[in-house]
């Protein structure tokens, strides 16, 4: 099962805004003991805690950790989709509110991104960014002969350290099915 870069690009902006929101939340929580942040209507706050992945390794990827209460929804040689176990939308081809990992194609690598920042993921320098028009943050992670592109929903409220820890435990294996742009 593969997705086009157009489908992926529409969903990726949602995850990038989430990462930015995670940084704001972390600052708010660490900066004052009495401050509370309200969730926008219709969103669900999700635990940022990572836990060891206990399932069978998905086709095309190896993963070490998942957010607590999340599991692999779908995987093939071109994409990995993680969702909350109790998510109301279990469609593996709809990525809102889910973590999406794919192998980036040349067109995706050449796109100018907003709010980019270097992020150390293990011994590799990745690039975090915000997706346009959404509540998602993204990450471009160079890995040997390919680059992984991650989409994180804002509802995760992950800080940069958690994004880096999760991404360090994701690896594309075998020959990837790279979406054509």
Each residue's pLDDT tens digit, 12-38: 443 433 344 344 333 333 333 333 333
**CA atoms of 152 and 130, how far apart (whole Å):** 10
Q: What is the mean pLDDT of residues 38-67?
A: 76
Overall CATH class of domain 5-30+46-172: alpha beta
> Would you say residue 71 has pLDDT above 80?
yes
Q: Is the distance from CB of 77 to CB of 60 less than 8 angstroms? A: yes
Which one has a higher pLDDT value, 178 or 124? 124
The per-residue pLDDT for range 120-143, each reduced to its tens digit, is: 999 999 999 998 877 899 999 999
Q: What is the mean pLDDT of residues 142-158?
A: 93
Strand, coil or helix: 17: helix
pTM above 0.95, yes or no: no
> Over the chain, what is the mean pLDDT?
79
DSSP state letter for 125:
E
Q: What is the mean pLDDT of residues 52-74?
A: 95
Q: What residue spans define the domains of the chain?
A: 5-30+46-172
Vertex 175: Cα angle to 171 and 91 (nearest 5): 70
**CA atoms of 150 and 137, how far apart (whole Å):** 8
Q: Report the pLDDT value the prediction gives residue 32, as an integer from 0 to 100.
A: 32
């Amino acid at each position: 099962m593969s997705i086009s870069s157009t489908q992926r690009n529409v969903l990726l902006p949602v995850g990038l805004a989430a990462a930015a929101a995670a940084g704001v939340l972390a600052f708010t929580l660490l900066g004052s003991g009495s401050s509370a942040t309200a969730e926008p209507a219709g969103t669900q706050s999700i635990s940022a805690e990572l836990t060891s992945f206990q399932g069978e390794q998905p086709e095309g990827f190896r993963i070490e950790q998942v957010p607590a209460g999340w599991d692999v929804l779908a995987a093939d040689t071109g994409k990995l989709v993680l969702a909350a176990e109790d998510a109301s939308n279990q469609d593996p081809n709809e990525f809102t509110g889910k973590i999406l990992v794919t192998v980036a194609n040349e067109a995706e690598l050449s796109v100018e991104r907003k709010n980019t920042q270097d992020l150390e993921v293990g011994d590799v320098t990745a690039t975090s960014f915000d997706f346009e028009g959404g509540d998602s943050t993204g990450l471009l992670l160079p890995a040997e002969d390919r680059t992984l592109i991650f989409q994180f929903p804002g509802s995760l409220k992950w800080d940069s350290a958690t994004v880096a820890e999760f991404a360090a435990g994701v690896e594309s294996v075998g020959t990837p099915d790279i979406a054509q742009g």
